[in-house]
Amino acid sequence: MLRIGILTSGGDCQALNAAMRGVVKGLATNVDNLEVYGFFNGYRGLIYGDYRLLTSRDFSGILTRGGTILGSSRQPFKLMREPDENGVNKVESMKSNYYKLSLDCLVILGGNGTQKTANLLREEGLNIIHLPKTIDNDIYGTDVTFGFYSAIDVACDAIDRIHTTAASHNRVFIVEVMGHKVGWLTLYAGTASGADIILLPEIPYSEKKIIEAIDKRHKEGKGFTIIAVAEGAISKEDAALSKKELKKKREKESHPSAAYRIAKLVEEKTGTEARVTVPGHTQRGGSPCPYDRALCTRLGSAAAKAIMDQKFGNMVAMVNGETKLVPLEKVAGKLKTVDPECQMIKEAKRVGISFGN
């Protein structure tokens, strides 16, 4: 008898169900006696014993279904070793529920914070397999995370639609794409949808350079400009401030986000109307794109093999087009950011895209 637990933690994305399906089908096809326990609402289910024995019916027809059939929640890693409001020791409670069910492995699907807790549980002696999920594509050790390409589709669609109305008005249109710390999603969506200016957290922008790029387009007879802005985009001046100083400055501002700061700058410096669009959580929603469905089937199958081979304590990554097991201890806590000197940035600049620097 093989018993596994499975949970999804952190922000949701389009391909969580597809990934879980891949794991379970990979095991069910090759293991005679299998029990799968699903923990509800992320680590909360593991902490408080909220779980259910799942059947094949639970994983039927979910390849194209967005969200997660198990639900999710955010449990900050920095608070994992602190008792909850009722004095419950979270780590010991998770271990207790793992051993209570006599699990052979716990499969954890999630992003960076989720991964750090997965590594913590590995250090506590549990058999762990992690699958890299995030629309931000910022997990270290894997070329791509599931959810990323599905989110690109949504962000691109938003910018594409802005293009049609932009062509009818002499305005600057700003689309704010998800990504507080990294700009992979904005970089890919902006490039794929023909944004004129792309602003990323990794490349602090010069207000002067943004205005110059807009003015250049106007002089060329182009009546509109489209700017793709990551949530975490920051000016060179703000980037030079300490966290405390920046927080104090933000508290005095009336702008809800980076896109609105850019809009105010544009209107003040150019006299041109600026409009902001924030796709927000639509970037996490809907069905997974075909690429993510195939990716999750591969990652899930590879996870199943790792479980059968008892190669625990690993993240299942995609490296150079091949699935690979990467030790959690080598990647947990690390962030994969956009290199400002990477080939893609250079190629984008070559075709006239400005990064505000």
Residues designated catalytic: 136
In this structure, are residues 226 and 194 in contact, taking their beta carbons and an 8 Å threshold? yes
Q: What angle do CA 59, 60, 64 make, to 5 degrees?
A: 90
Distance CA 314, CA 131 (A): 9
In this structure, are residues 22 and 297 in contact, taking their beta carbons and an 8 Å threshold? yes
The tally of CA atoms less than 13 A away on the side-chain side of residue 304 is 21
Q: Is 129 helix (H, G, I), strand (E, B) or coil?
A: strand
Look up residue 357 and give its two tokens: 């620097």
Distance CA 46, CA 44 (A): 5
CA 250 to chain centre: 25
Phi/psi of residue 73, each to 5°? -160, 160
Amino acid at 170: N
The secondary structure element, H or E, covering residue 226 is strand 225-230
In this structure, are residues 23 and 105 in contact, taking their beta carbons and an 8 Å threshold? no
Q: Which residues contact 214 (CB under 8 A, 6 or more apart)?
A: 172, 197, 225, 266, 270, 272
Token pair 């479980």: residue:
307
Q: Which residues of 281-293 are buried (b: 16+ CB within 10 A; e: fewer)?
A: eebbbbbbbebbb
Q: Which residues contact 92 (CB under 8 A, 6 or more apart)?
A: none
